[in-house]
Amino acid sequence: MSCKTRIEKRVLIQAPPAPVFRALTEAKDLARWFCDRAASDPRAGGELTVCWKTRENSRKGRALITRFEKDALLEMLWLEEGDDRPGGNTRHILSYKITARKDSTEVLMIDEDDLPQNEEDIDVLNQGWNNVLMELKDYCERTERGARSRFNAIFSKDL
C-alpha cells in the first residue's frame, strides 16, 4: 500500500479548448455529461457542487477551485461532506490541464489523494476515470459537431 494515490489520464478531444473548459466548469454543461445537477462559481476561490441521483439515494460532491486559468487549467480541492476547511487532514486534488493541439485539445487529468488505496480500489478508480473522460470527449465532440452544423446551415443559406 502506498501513502498517496495518483491517477493520471490523457484524452484527445476533437474540439477547441474553450468548449472543453466550459464542459468542465459551467454548471449547465456539467449537468449534461457528468452529473444530474451542478452549481458552479468558475473562478479561483469559487466552488463547484455536483449531485448524482440513483434509485436508492443521492450523492453530493463539493470542491473549492484552487487554480483557474481560462481554457488552460482547472484545479480543485475536493471537500469531504461537512468539512468546510480547505485541506482538512487529507487532501484530494483534481486537476485538468488543457492544451491546444492541431485540430484538437489534449486534456491531462490528474487525481491525487492523500488516502492510500489498495490495488483493487485503484483499478476501480482507473476504470471510472476512463469512463468519465470518454463521456467528456463524447459530449465535447457532439457539441462541436452541432455548432459546426448550425454554422454551416446559417451561412449556406446566404450562398
Does residue 27 contact residue 38 with C-beta atoms inside 8 Å? yes
Going by C-alpha positions, the residue among 115, 126, 128, 93 that lies closest to residue 1 is 115
Per-residue confidence (pLDDT) for residue 89, from 0 to 100: 59
Q: What is the pLDDT of residues 42-76, one digit of tens each?
A: 999 999 999 998 888 888 999 999 999 999 999 99
Q: How confident is the model at residue 145 (pLDDT cuts 50, 70, 90)?
A: confident
β 5-13/104-113 pair status: antiparallel
Cα–Cα distance between 48 and 24 in angstroms, integer?
A: 10
Share of the chain above pLDDT 70, in %: 83
Cα–Cα distance between 142 and 138 in angstroms, integer?
A: 6
| Range 103-127 burial, b when 16+ CB lie within 10 A, else e | ebbebebebebeeebeeeeeeeeee
Per-residue confidence (pLDDT) for residue 99, from 0 to 100: 98
Supply the CATH classification number for the domain 5-157. Answer: 3.30.530.20
Cα–Cα distance between 64 and 91 in angstroms, integer?
A: 12
Please give the distance of CA 89 from its chain centroid, rounded to a whole number: 24
* Residue predicted with more confidence, 6 or 159: 6
Domain boundaries, the chain: 5-157
Q: How confident is the model at residue 3 (pLDDT cuts 50, 70, 90)?
A: low
C-alpha cell at 29: 454543461
C-alpha cell at 109: 487529468
Per-residue confidence (pLDDT) for residue 54, from 0 to 100: 82
Average pLDDT over residues 146-151: 62
Average pLDDT over residues 4-23: 96
Does residue 13 contact residue 105 with C-beta atoms inside 8 Å? yes
Per-residue confidence (pLDDT) for residue 57, from 0 to 100: 87
Q: What is the pLDDT of residues 77-97, one digit of tens each?
A: 999 765 454 545 578 999 999
